[in-house]
Chain A
Amino acid sequence: MRRDVFQAIADPNRRAILALLAQQRLTLNGVAENFRISRPAVSRHIKILKECGLVVVIPQGRERFVEARFDKLQEVTRWVEQYRQLWEEKFNRLDALLEQMKKEN
């Protein structure tokens, strides 16, 4: 299965989990308390987020804390920016062409 940032944020529950973890790190139970979906479902989402590199699970005593790693999210911003630049290049050429067409009209 696909394991990248796009996959991680494709699901609304996973986006909500990340939003929650942006404020503070939480235990698995702490995360689950904030959601109506079952605890195993929350665990599955956290597992996927972990595999995508967006959270880390840190054992501390008997607890396991989940912490967000937001530097990975920049990957998405970078891909979108690259795609935007591709179009910007085309549109800058189109600008030049339109200027030429205006003169010829």
Chain B
Amino acid sequence: MPSKNKTIVNVEPGKQELYIIREFDAPRDLLFRAHTDPNLYVKWIGPHGYEMILREFEPVNGGKWSFIHKDSQGNEFGFHGCFHEISLEQLTQTFEFEGYPGHVSLETATLEELPGNRTRVTIHSVYQSVADRDGMVQSGMEKGVREGYERLDDILTGMK
């Protein structure tokens, strides 16, 4: 069922950062657990149609994380980074796609308590360059998603 809570993505032209904002009808400690318990995390973070394999997951200050998204053809897409700060209010980590090594982004997820046992999550990602950020937005992060849209583009072009 689609949620009444809207996902807002703020991508201003010419900047090397972006924001993702979403509210949840759940208290903050549950959001925190869904972000830091590996068994819970794998249930939602992977893109649709991919197997999510956690290689490392140490959600403590200075801990490492690393996972693979595997598609149905067996193609693997690796990602890794470090956790810098893990607290109930804020999770700070670095993020690197192994298909594009050396391009690291800094991601801060702020978990904000709202009235009525609700929580607002704000993800702020800062990239090394405007091109890196735009590349991330354009790729939709996953090759599969991109291919899906390329197919859609072909269909739309064919309709013109």
Q: Which residues of A contact B (CB under 8 A)?
A: 2, 6, 9-12, 15, 76, 79-80, 82-84, 86-99, 101-102, 105
Contacts and interface: CB of A to CB of B under 8 A. Distances in A.
Nearest to A95: B3
A47 to B, nearest CB: 18
A95 B134 CA distance: 28
Given A11-B14, A95-B24, A97-B34, A87 B134 contact: no
Contacts of A76: 13
B103 interface: no
B128 interface: no
7 contacts: A2-B131, A10-B134, A80-B137, A84-B7, A87-B7, A88-B7, A90-B44
B3 A84 contact: no
A86 B140 contact: yes
Nearest to A90: B44
Given A10-B130, A93-B43, A102-B30, A79 B137 contact: yes
Which of A6, A94, A105 gathers most chain B CB within 10 Å? A94
Interface in B1-19: 2-3, 5, 7-9, 11, 13-14
Q: Is the interface of A mostly helix, strand, loop or mixed?
A: helix
A49 to B, nearest CB: 13
Interface of B: 2-3, 5, 7-9, 11, 13-14, 20, 22, 24-26, 30-31, 33-34, 40, 43-48, 130-131, 134, 137-138, 140-142, 145, 149
B22 A87 contact: yes
A98 B25 contact: yes
A94 B34 contact: yes
B13 A15 contact: yes
A104 to B, nearest CB: 10
Nearest to B26: A98
Nearest to B131: A2
Contacts of A94: 24, 34, 44
A84 B137 CA distance: 9
Contacts of A99: 26
A12 B125 CA distance: 22
A31 to B, nearest CB: 19
Contacts of A91: 3, 5, 7, 22, 24, 44
A80 B9 contact: yes
Nearest to A12: B14
Contacts of B2: 92
